[in-house]
């Protein structure tokens, strides 16, 4: 019998230690998701002199690599879990190797020239993405195996998002501070890459211990026997089959990808908004404080709302709130100023729900599929999920890069001062406001097709 099918499992409350160990993993996921999205494109265009379009292609290329390998890692994780009862091996490998590759991504000096610099950053970031996927895919699979309780999953993922939000705040605010800690921009970026890489790796290694807790929750004879085939072609086919047979997964994944694209667009545009709209490169720290500070406080509130209204309704409310806040920022085209921090703070309140609620809904989708089909393929599900999330964030950075290129943004190297045309500044504001709002509106249409409710999970 699978853990999803055991009625008594729904009433078991996870220990505080298990919840804490799992949540600490978000030190890694938050740091990796934030810093590259926030500063990598800017590092390429305004430190190495790489053209905006090329910079966008570099970030997108690394993310496409994620999309290729995530389903393979997910299927391999399922096989490891069926064989050993734990997904820890891949998680440890990712935690040990990511700090090195992350630091190398920001170790390229401008003196190498734009072409050599672009190639070196691409290779280092590809390696970083591989290490992160080794950790992230099995990490996202664990909640479905730790508990089958509808509200208990919300509690587990709620605390994860509290740490995730703190990690985003630490990375988004602390990363630029580390970058500016030295007078030399080259040394500053390297310092940021080394410190952030170590913090991310430590968080990953601590969270890997949760995989052993998942093994204790399921006896050896309860592990799923239906795992993905070993061949590459069959592994990809297994991912396609999960999409075909699970309508709730298709609806939730479509919603999450569109929202990852919306938030990824805002994230990639934040540094440009700080520099050219708020007229201070250091203002990116205040932007992150405005966005993430309220989110840190709002996550427990979204957990309460989800218990009263259901996760899907709470998710819709968070999406609508984010849409309104993002759309209001378009006024910065005509009247930029400190008032923008208020709209960003409202978006931050919504962002807490956009992170915690879909992640709490994904284990419901996995257990619902296992109950209907008897197949234990949590890793396959999360491999497809992580690939979809990666696509969203990658296209977010690409969207900003294309907008900059289309509006005449002028790239530069470290230590030089440039003026941007008015069209480029308008493009920055639109990429930070209207584009995310439109994407969020589209995600509400896909969310309407999500049909799982509490009764379907706790039945």
DSSP summary character for residue 414:
T
Residue 9 inside a domain? The answer is no
Six-digit token string for 151: 């509200």
Residue 255 inside a domain? The answer is yes
**Nearest alpha carbon to residue 314 among 330, 331, 332, 298:** 298
Q: Which domain holds residue 245?
A: 15-217+235-458
Residue 227 inside a domain? The answer is no
**Nearest alpha carbon to residue 355 among 284, 432, 303:** 303
Angstrom distance (rounded) from CA 266 to CA 268: 6
Residue 223 inside a domain? The answer is no
Q: What does the pLDDT profile of the chain (459 residues) look like in tens digits?
A: 334 334 434 446 778 888 888 888 888 888 887 787 678 878 888 888 888 778 878 877 877 888 788 888 888 888 888 777 778 889 999 999 999 999 999 998 888 888 888 899 999 999 998 999 899 888 888 887 777 777 788 888 888 878 887 887 787 777 777 887 787 878 888 899 999 999 999 999 998 888 776 555 554 444 444 454 555 666 677 777 777 888 889 999 999 999 988 988 887 788 788 878 887 766 777 887 787 778 778 888 898 998 888 889 999 999 999 999 999 999 988 988 888 989 999 998 998 899 889 988 888 888 888 887 766 677 778 878 877 777 777 677 778 878 888 887 876 665 555 677 888 888 889 989 999 999 999 999 999 999 888 777 766
Angstrom distance (rounded) from CA 342 to CA 338: 8
**Nearest alpha carbon to residue 40 among 63, 11, 72, 23:** 63
Residue 1 inside a domain? The answer is no
Place of tokens 């019998």: 1
Residue 92 inside a domain? The answer is yes
413 - beta bridge partners?
48
Angstrom distance (rounded) from CA 24 to CA 199: 11
Six-digit token string for 230: 């070993």
Angstrom distance (rounded) from CA 94 to CA 78: 17
The structural domain count of the chain equals 1
Look up the CATH number of the domain holding residue 54.
1.20.1250.20
Q: Are 86 and 211 in contact (CB under 8 A)?
A: yes
């Amino acid at each position: 019998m699978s853990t999803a099918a055991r009625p008594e499992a729904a009433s078991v409350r996870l220990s505080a230690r298990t919840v804490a160990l799992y949540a600490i993993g978000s030190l890694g996921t938050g740091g990796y998701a934030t810093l590259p999205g926030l500063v990598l494109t800017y590092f390429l265009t305004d430190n190495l002199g790489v053209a905006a379009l090329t910079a966008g292609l570099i970030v997108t290329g690394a993310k496409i690599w994620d999309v290729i390998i995530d389903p393979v890692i997910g299927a391999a994780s399922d096989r490891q879990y069926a064989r050993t009862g734990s997904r820890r091996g891949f998680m440890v490998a990712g935690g040990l190797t990511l700090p090195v590759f992350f630091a190398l991504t920001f170790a390229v000096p401008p003196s190498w020239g734009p072409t050599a610099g672009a190639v070196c950053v691409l290779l280092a970031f590809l390696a970083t993405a591989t290490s992160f996927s080794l950790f992230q895919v099995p990490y996202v699979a664990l909640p479905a195996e730790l508990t089958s309780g509808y509200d208990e999953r919300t509690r587990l993922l709620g605390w994860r998002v509290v740490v995730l939000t703190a990690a985003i705040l630490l990375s988004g605010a602390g990363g630029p501070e580390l970058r500016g800690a030295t007078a030399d921009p080259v040394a500053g970026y390297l310092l940021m890459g080394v410190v952030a890489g170590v913090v991310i790796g430590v968080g990953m290694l601590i969270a890997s211990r949760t995989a052993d807790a998942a093994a204790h929750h399921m006896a050896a004879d309860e592990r799923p026997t239906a795992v993905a085939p070993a061949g590459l072609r069959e592994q990809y086919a297994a991912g396609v089959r999960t999409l075909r047979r699970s309508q709730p997964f298709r609806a939730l994944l479509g919603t999450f990808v569109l929202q990852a694209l919306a938030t990824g667009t805002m994230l990639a545009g934040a540094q440009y908004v700080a520099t050219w709209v708020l007229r201070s490169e250091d203002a990116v720290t205040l932007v992150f404080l405005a966005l993430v500070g309220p989110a840190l406080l709002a996550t427990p509130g979204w957990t309460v709302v989800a218990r009263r209204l259901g996760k899907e309704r709470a998710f819709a409310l968070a999406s609508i709130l984010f849409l309104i806040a993002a759309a209001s920022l378009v006024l910065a085209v005509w009247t930029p100023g400190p008032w923008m921090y208020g709209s960003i703070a409202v978006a931050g309140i919504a962002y807490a729900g956009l992170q915690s609620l879909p992640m709490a809904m994904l284990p419901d989708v996995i257990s619902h599929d296992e109950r209907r089909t008897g197949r234990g393929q949590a890793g396959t599900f999360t491999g497809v999920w992580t690939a979809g999330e990666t696509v969203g964030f990658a296209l977010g950075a690409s969207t900003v890069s294309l907008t900059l290129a289309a509006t005449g943004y002028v790239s530069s190297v470290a230590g030089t001062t440039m003026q941007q045309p008015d069209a480029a500044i308008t493009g920055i504001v639109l990429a930070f406001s209207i584009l995310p709002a439109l994407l969020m509106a589209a995600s509400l249409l896909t969310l309407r097709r999500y049909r799982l409710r509490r009764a379907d999970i706790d039945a």
